[in-house]
Amino acid sequence: MNSDVRNLVALQDVEQKIAGLQKQINEIPASVQRLHADLQQLKEVHQQRLAHSQDLAKNRRTYEGAVEMQRTKLGRLKDQLMSVKTNKEYTAMLHEIQGAEEQIRSEEDKILEIMEESETLEKQLKSEEKELGARVSEIQAAIRMLEDSVPGLESEVEKLRQDRMAMEAGVGEELLGRYRRLAEARRGIALAEARDELCTACHVRIRPQVYADLLKTEDVLACDSCSRILFLRSAL
């Protein structure tokens, strides 16, 4: 294999590593932001359930107060019932007593519903508090790990960039310029491995003569379809 092509293969491998690491670095702020958003959402959901629990307790007190008022009213009505003088007054008083009793039953039913919901919610909150604490710790650890990884990744990128400069120095200027133009046009992939008579980049079959020349000469050969410089991995 042409030594310049061999150097270009190594150069492309390094540049792909640099691109991958740089992409990873660039994505870290967004990943951290998403984790912070997840953390905030977890806390908000928990706070909403706590607030709902407090609302249930408040509603229960309201209904209990209403029941107490109705019981006081009912006692007063029953006392007054003994002093009515006409059937009409008696019937009206019984109707009012019945209404108060129905109101008490209705309010007590609501209290029972609230008590059942509160009990279920209380169990959920206790279980959730443990899970929430673990999840919060997990997210915070993930955030720290991402933020702490940046200096190491940047250091690795810088080392690879230095390696790239050394590799570029080992390639002829004309071929290096061709490589750069191809890389810009082909999303960073200027060279393609030839395997089983196929270009592995565009998956088009290589002409038999080109493939034969690739096996036995050191000429710089290109894929007729995508124009990428061809190489054999086995010849590296």
* pLDDT score, position 38: 92
Q: Which amino acid is at 97?
A: I
Output the pTM of the full model.
0.68
Domains and CATH numbers, the chain: 7-171 (1.10.287.1490), 175-235 (no CATH)
Please report, in angstroms and rounded to a whole number, the separation of the first and last CA atoms in the chain.
7
Whether the Cβ atoms of residue 204 and residue 223 lie closer than 8 Å to each other: yes
Percentage of residues of the chain with pLDDT beyond 70? 100
Whether the Cβ atoms of residue 188 and residue 16 lie closer than 8 Å to each other: yes
Question: Other CB atoms closer than 10 Å to residue 150's CB: what's the count?
Answer: 14
User: 18-28 burial, b if ≥16 CB within 10 A, otherwise e?
Assistant: beebeeeeeee
Residue 108 predicted with pLDDT over 90:
yes
Q: Edge-to-edge strands of the sheet including 191-195?
A: 198-199, 191-195, 229-231
Residue 34 predicted with pLDDT over 90:
yes
